[in-house]
């Protein structure tokens, strides 16, 4: 798709000029601007108040030094980030990513998308994101702890339960959240809901661990039912990644009667036509922190292939990219379409390239964009914040039921907005428009405060 209006073109040109060398951020902004053209056309008040111009510029961008000592006694230096993108509808909210690829562009694309996603959940959360280029792979527990403590020593000045509430993302799971929260509590002398994804003994919520993956399947089920009168039951499913999102997407897919035939990590993928044994994957990934290749050595009939991209050449009915950004390109999308894929829903953030998205939309494949389809994680983080404020805990069933309602609500908001703005069934446009409008109305109500 191309930008049509001179108004949006001008905004995009300014964003390009201000954010040179940040391709992921520009990609995320461009997609949103394309979707918002019909919205802004109908709403001159939004244009007059400069809402779009304000939303593409983060409220605050923090970058800091993170120094720590490795097991050999050597000083190591990493770069820490936190972008506080938009706080119109609630405290900044978004995860922390630890991966060597992390830079300003990645953090800003994630923070920008987070604003719309959080808005879509219907909960009062603004958008933010953070992380570091620290590589957790191969590090000892002690090294991870010392890094997390150093990172939080700076970050704790900028966050708080009513200001900014980080969570996990790639490379940040229960262990890292524990170290980060322990350091925050030590420095601030406060026991508050400043992070989500916490352990159950110190304020965590049931279902948070499972939430993004489960939510992805609740969304996919709703999309199949509403748009094709079909369901996950009996469908062959390919899931990329084998981290937090992928594992719990696979678990819910199996509970709904789907057959997960492949999973991957950044080295390669395993194919098991009999259906992936999740107990084996959990043992390898969650307990041993091993490689997915070990699966093929342990399960008869399964094969391992080096390299990630080939996973999209497997014949399947549903594809769920759950690893990382731009992992599914135009060529992979064409292969999926040739193999008659019915639905694609994004568990990872921006896993499909613009060419892939275009291909799915043109070929009539049901497509659930990340902002809508993977919002279950942050929605349950929102529920964790509510429980922390009440100093109370809901049961697994209570949280799970709320999650299901929220995911169905997100699907319907995106679908209804797609119809309202003349592109019924285009959930990319629908999710962007619905997420945007709630923030825009709020910013209009505030006047020009920021
Ligand atoms: P994890 O760190 O738990 O798992 C990430 C998985 O993706 C691993 O299997 C990893 O393989 C693989 N991976 C990472 N980088 C690459 C790469 N460059 N190429 C191929 N595979 C890669 O992270 P999560 O499961 O939490 O996050 C996965 C995605 O979901 C991310 O895009 C994240 O932003 C998004 N997301 C996460 C949410 C959450 O609640 N956790 C919420 C919403 C979105 P390896 O082990 O080899 O590195």
Residue 213 · residue 373 · CB < 8 Å: no
Separation of CA 38 and ligand 1 centre (Å) = 33
Cα–Cα separations (whole angstroms), residue 124 to 57, 116, 117, 443: 20, 12, 11, 14
Q: Which of 439, 445, 447 is nearest to 39 (CA)?
A: 439
Say what the pLDDT of residue 114 is: 98
Residue 241 · residue 322 · CB < 8 Å: yes
CA separation for the pair 375, 372 (Å, rounded): 6
Atom of ligand 1 nearest to the CA of 265: 11
210 Cβ closer than 6 Å to some ligand 1 atom? no
Scan for tokens 């719990």, then name that residue: 248
Atom of ligand 1 nearest to the CA of 308: 20
250 Cβ closer than 6 Å to some ligand 1 atom? no
Say what the pLDDT of residue 2 is: 83
What are phi and psi for residue 79, nearest 5 degrees? Answer: -110, 130
CA separation for the pair 164, 316 (Å, rounded): 40
Atom of ligand 1 nearest to the CA of 171: 2
Nearest CA to ligand 1 atom 39: 169
CA separation for the pair 309, 347 (Å, rounded): 16
Separation of CA 358 and ligand 1 centre (Å) = 23
Residues of the chain with pLDDT under 70: 1, 450
Atom of ligand 1 nearest to the CA of 173: 3
Separation of CA 59 and ligand 1 centre (Å) = 27
Residue 364 burial (C-beta neighbours within 10 Å; 0-12, 13-18, 19+)? exposed
352 Cβ closer than 6 Å to some ligand 1 atom? no
Q: Give residues with Cβ within 8 angstroms of 230, minimum separation 6.
A: 224, 342
DSSP SS3 for 269? strand
> What pLDDT digit, counting tens, does each position of 389-430 carry?
999 999 999 999 999 999 999 999 999 999 999 999 999 999
* Residue from 111, 213, 244, 328 to probe ligand 1 pocket by mutation (most atoms less than 8 Å from CB): 244
Q: Which residues are catalytic?
A: 129
Domains of the chain and any CATH numbers: 6-55 (no CATH), 60-190 (3.40.50.10860), 211-373 (3.40.50.720)
348 Cβ closer than 6 Å to some ligand 1 atom? yes
What are phi and psi for residue 77, nearest 5 degrees? Answer: -125, 125
Nearest CA to ligand 1 atom 46: 265
111 Cβ closer than 6 Å to some ligand 1 atom? no
């Amino acid at each position: 798709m191309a930008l049509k209006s001179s108004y949006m073109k001008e905004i995009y040109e300014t964003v390009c000029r201000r954010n040179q060398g940040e391709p992921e951020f520009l990609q995320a902004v461009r997609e949103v601007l394309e979707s918002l053209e019909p919205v802004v056309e109908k709403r001159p008040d939004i244009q007059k108040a400069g809402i779009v111009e304000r939303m593409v510029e983060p409220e605050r961008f923090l970058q800091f030094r993170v120094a720590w000592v490795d097991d050999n006694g050597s000083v190591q230096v990493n770069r820490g980030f936190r972008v506080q993108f938009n706080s119109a509808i609630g405290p900044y909210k978004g995860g922390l990513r630890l991966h060597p690829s992390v830079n300003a562009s990645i953090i800003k694309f994630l923070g920008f998308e987070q604003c719309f996603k959080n808005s879509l959940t219907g909960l009062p959360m603004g958008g933010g994101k953070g992380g570091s280029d620290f590589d957790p792979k191969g590090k000892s527990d002690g090294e991870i702890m010392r890094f997390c403590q150093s990172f939080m020593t700076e970050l704790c000045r900028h966050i708080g339960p009513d200001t900014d509430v980080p969570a996990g993302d790639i490379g940040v799971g229960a262990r890292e959240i524990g170290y980060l929260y322990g350091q925050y509590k030590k420095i601030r002398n406060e026991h508050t809901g400043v992070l989500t994804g916490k352990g159950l003994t110190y304020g965590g919520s049931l279902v948070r661990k499972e939430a993004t993956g489960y939510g992805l399947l609740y969304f996919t089920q709703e999309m199949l039912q509403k748009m094709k009168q079909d369901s996950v039951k009996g469908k062959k499913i390919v899931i990329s990644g084998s981290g937090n999102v992928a594992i719990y997407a696979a678990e819910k897919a199996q509970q709904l009667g789907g057959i997960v035939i492949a999973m991957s990590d950044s080295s390669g993928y395993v194919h098991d036509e009999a259906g992936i044994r999740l107990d084996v994957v959990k043992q390898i990934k969650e307990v041993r922190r091993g490689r997915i290749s070990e699966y093929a050595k342990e399960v008869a009939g399964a094969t391992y292939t080096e390299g990630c991209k080939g996973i999209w050449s497997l014949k399947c009915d549903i594809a769920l990219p759950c690893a990382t950004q731009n992992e599914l390109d135009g060529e992979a999308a064409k292969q999926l379409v040739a193999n008659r894929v019915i639905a694609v829903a994004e568990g990872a953030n921006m896993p499909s390239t613009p060419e892939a998205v275009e291909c799915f939309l043109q070929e009539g494949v049901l497509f659930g964009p990340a902002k809508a389809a993977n919002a279950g994680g942050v929605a349950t983080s929102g529920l964790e914040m509510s429980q922390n404020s009440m100093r109370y805990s809901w049961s697994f069933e209570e949280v799970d039921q709320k999650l299901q309602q929220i995911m169905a609500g997100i699907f319907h908001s995106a679908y209804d907005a797609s119809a309202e703005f003349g592109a019924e069934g285009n959930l990319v446009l629908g999710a962007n428009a619905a997420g945007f409008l709630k923030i825009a109305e709020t910013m209009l109500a505030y006047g020009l405060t920021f």
